[in-house]
A and B are shown apart, each in its own frame.
Chain A
Amino acid sequence: MNFDLTEERQMLQDSLRRFLRDKYDTETRNRILESETGYSTEIWEGLAELGVIGALFTEEQGGFGGAGFDVTTVFEELGRAGVVEPLLDSAVLAGGLIADLGTEAQQEHIEQLIGGGLQLAFAHGEPGSRYDLNRVTTTAAQNGGDIVLNGRKAVVANAEAADMLVVSARESGEAGDETGISLFLVPSDTKGLTVTGYALLAGGRAAEVTLDDVTLPDSARLGAAGKAYDAIEARTAVATTALCAETLGAMETACALTREYLGTRKQFGRPIGSFQALAHRMSDLLIDLEQARSAVINAAGHLANDRVSRERHVSAAKNLMGRVGRLVAEDTIQMHGGIAMTQEYELAHIAKRITMADHRFGDTDHHLERFIALSAA
Chain B
Amino acid sequence: MDLSYTDEERAFREEVRQFLAEKLPKELSEKVRRGQELTKDDHERWHAILNEQGWQATNWPKEFGGAAWNAVQRHIFEEEAAAHHAPRIVPFGLSMLAPVLQKFGSKEQQDYWLPRILSGEDWWCQGYSEPGAGSDLASLKTTAVKDGDHYIVNGQKTWTTLGQHANMIFCLVRTNKDVKQQEGISFLLIDMETPGITVRPIILLDGGAEVNEVFFDNVKVPAENLVGEEDKGWTYAKYLLTHERTNIAGVGFSQAGLQAVKRIAKSEMAGGRPLIENPHFAARVAQAEIDLMAMATTNLRIISKAAAGQAPGVESSMLKVKGTIIRQEINDLARRAAGVYAMPFASEAVAGSNDALPDPNDAGPVAAQYFNNRKLSIFGGSNEIQRQIIAKTMLGGGK
Give the distance in Å from the alpha carbon of A127 to the alpha carbon of B344 in the complex: 13
Alpha-carbon distance A349/B377, docked complex (angstroms): 19
Residues 333-366 of chain A, each 1 if its beta carbon lies under 8 Å from chain B, else 0? 1100110111110001101100110111001111
Q: Does A278 contact B (CB under 8 A)?
A: yes
Instruction: From B271, B281, B340, B343, name the one whose CB has the most chain A CB atoms within 10 angstroms.
Output: B340
B contact patch SS: mixed
Q: Is the CB–CB distance between A198 and B356 below 8 Å?
A: yes
Number of interface residues of A (CB under 8 A): 54
A359: chain B residues at CB < 8 Å are: 335, 338-340, 342-343, 367
B273 to chain A, nearest CB (A): 10
Interface residue count for B (Cβ, 8 Å)?
Answer: 57
- B12 located at the interface, meaning its Cβ lies under 8 Å from any Cβ of chain A in the complex: no
Determine whether the beta carbon of A338 is less than 8 Å from that of B375. yes
Contact with A along B363-399 (1 / 0, CB 8 A): 0000110110011011100111001100000000001
- The reply to whether B270 and A155 form a contact with Cβ atoms under 8 Å apart is no
CA distance A202 to B339 in the complex (A): 14
Most buried by A among B139, B339, B367: B339
Query: A333: which of B139, B270, B345, B374 is its contact (CB, 8 Å)?
Result: B374
With A and B bound together, what is the CA distance between A268 and B268 in angstroms? 48
Distance in angstroms from A325 CB to nearest chain B CB is 12
- Which chain A residues lie closer than 8 Å to B378 at the CB level? 333-334, 337-338, 341
Which of B275, B342, B375 has most A Cβ within 10 Å? Answer: B342
Which of A129-137, A238-246, A248-256 lines the interface with chain B? Answer: A129-137
B360 at the interface (CB under 8 A from A): yes
Q: Is the CB of A131 within 8 A of B270?
A: yes
The chain A residue sitting closest to B205, CB to CB, is A348
* Cβ contact of B203, chosen from A268, A343, A352, A368, cutoff 8 A: A343
B278 at the interface (CB under 8 A from A): yes
Residue B191 is within 8 A (CB to CB) of chain A in the complex: no
Query: How far in angstroms is the closest Cβ of chain A from B322?
Result: 15
CB distance from B200 to the nearest CB of A (A): 12
CA distance A135 to B272 in the complex (A): 8
Residue of B nearest to A30 (CB): B203
Chain A residue nearest in CB terms to B209: A343
Given A330-B374, A338-B375, A348-B205, does the pair A155, B343 have CB atoms closer than 8 Å?
A: yes
| A contacts, CB < 8 Å to B | 125, 127-132, 135, 154-155, 175-176, 196, 198-202, 206, 208, 266-268, 272, 275-278, 326, 330, 333-334, 337-338, 340-344, 348-349, 351-352, 355-356, 358-360, 363-366, 368-369
Closest 3 CB pairs of A and B: A348-B205, A267-B136, A199-B345
Given A155-B344, A198-B344, A342-B202, 20 more pairs with CB closer than 8 A: A130-B271, A131-B339, A154-B340, A154-B358, A198-B345, A200-B345, A201-B346, A206-B343, A208-B358, A267-B136, A267-B139, A272-B135, A326-B332, A337-B378, A338-B375, A338-B378, A340-B205, A342-B203, A343-B204, A365-B278
